[in-house]
């Protein structure tokens, strides 16, 4: 997607603090961190949100969780939250599927 912000980060057209990368996924620091540790886990393939994926993408979706787990393990996180906002009503502002990984402070439940 030519004008997608996160696709542009993947292509290195916009700078980001990338902390992990493989063939399928990118993990980088959120520009507006909501916790001491706040990274975004994204697929390199463009999906607007989880609703734009299908059962055929199950392996790729699993890879995103694996990337999140690797980051958490390497960062020594014993607890963290992994969350995806899907749709404006849920707070999604960037239309490229992404999981927020937040850690380093007490978390509330349910989230607001």
Catalytic residue IDs: 98
Q: Nearest distance from residue 29's CB to ligand DGP, in Å?
A: 6
Residue 107 CA to its chain's centroid (Å) = 18
Site for ligand DGP (CB under 6 A): which residue of 93, 106, 109, 110?
93
Residues 30-59 that bind ligand DGP (CB under 6 A): 30-32, 40
Query: Binding segment for ligand DGP among 53-61, 62-70, 89-97, 101-109 (CB under 6 A)?
Result: 89-97
Answer whether 14's CB lies under 8 Å from 5's CB.
Answer: yes
Q: How are strands ordered across the β-sheet holding 25-29?
A: 18-21, 25-29, 37-43, 99-103, 81-83
Distance CA 91, CA 85 (A): 6
**Where do contacts with ligand DGP occur on this chain (CB under 6 A)?**
5, 14, 16, 28-32, 40, 85, 91-94
């Amino acid at each position: 997607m030519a004008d997608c912000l996160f696709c542009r980060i993947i292509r290195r057209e916009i700078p980001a603090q990338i902390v992990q990368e493989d063939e399928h996924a990118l993990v980088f620091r959120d520009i507006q961190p909501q916790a001491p540790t706040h990274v975004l886990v994204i697929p390199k393939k463009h999906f607007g949100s989880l609703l734009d994926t299908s059962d055929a993408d199950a392996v790729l979706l699993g890879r995103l969780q694996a990337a999140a787990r690797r980051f958490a393990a390497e960062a020594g996180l014993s607890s963290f939250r992994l969350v995806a906002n899907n749709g404006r009503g849920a707070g999604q502002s960037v239309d490229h599927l992404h999981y927020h990984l937040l850690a380093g402070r007490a978390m509330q439940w349910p989230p607001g």
